[in-house]
């Protein structure tokens, strides 16, 4: 776990999103544009996203998008305020933004799918403390 925490700390802040969902990819592209590449974008199903899910997040990881900073991983509704705050307060250099691929394998462009994904943003919320105190 120490390795992944060190790897994450090198590229924070991070947004982890569902890269197999049309709406989520559009959201990630919007965040990437609005932040001018200052937040690292990671797909849930990318190699780095799988590492983050396995080492930091829990079984609810795929239920929502995540915003990760130095001390916490915020999921869903809990991630909105830290993400917005980061957009307006971070004056960091450009991060190593990963390419945002669209891999929609489902019928995710329908009105119903967009509604379900949007409503899940409001109903799901979680905060996970990234504890690396043992490793200092």
d(Cα 130, Cα 133) in Å, to the nearest integer? 9
Annotated domain spans of the chain? 2-130
pLDDT over 60 (residue 14): yes
d(Cα 132, Cα 45) in Å, to the nearest integer? 24
Q: Which residue has the higher pLDDT, 101 or 49?
A: 49
Q: Which residue has the higher pLDDT, 36 or 42?
A: 42
Cis, bond preceding 5 (omega within 30 deg of 0): no
Give the tens place of pLDDT for each residue, 69-123. Answer: 989 999 999 999 999 998 887 555 555 445 555 555 556 666 666 566 666 667 7
């Amino acid at each position: 776990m120490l390795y992944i925490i060190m790897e994450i700390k090198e590229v924070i802040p991070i947004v982890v999103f569902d890269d197999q969902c049309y709406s989520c990819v559009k959201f990630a592209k919007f965040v990437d544009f609005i932040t001018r590449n200052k937040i690292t974008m990671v797909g849930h199903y990318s190699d780095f996203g799988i590492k983050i899910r396995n080492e930091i997040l829990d079984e609810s990881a795929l239920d929502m998008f995540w915003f990760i900073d130095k001390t916490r991983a915020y999921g869903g509704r809990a991630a909105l305020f830290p993400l917005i705050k980061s957009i307006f307060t971070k004056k960091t250099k450009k991060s190593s933004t990963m390419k945002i691929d669209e891999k929609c394998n489902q019928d995710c462009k329908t009105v119903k799918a967009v509604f379900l994904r949007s409503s899940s943003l409001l109903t799901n919320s979680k905060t996970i403390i990234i504890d690396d105190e043992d490793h200092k």
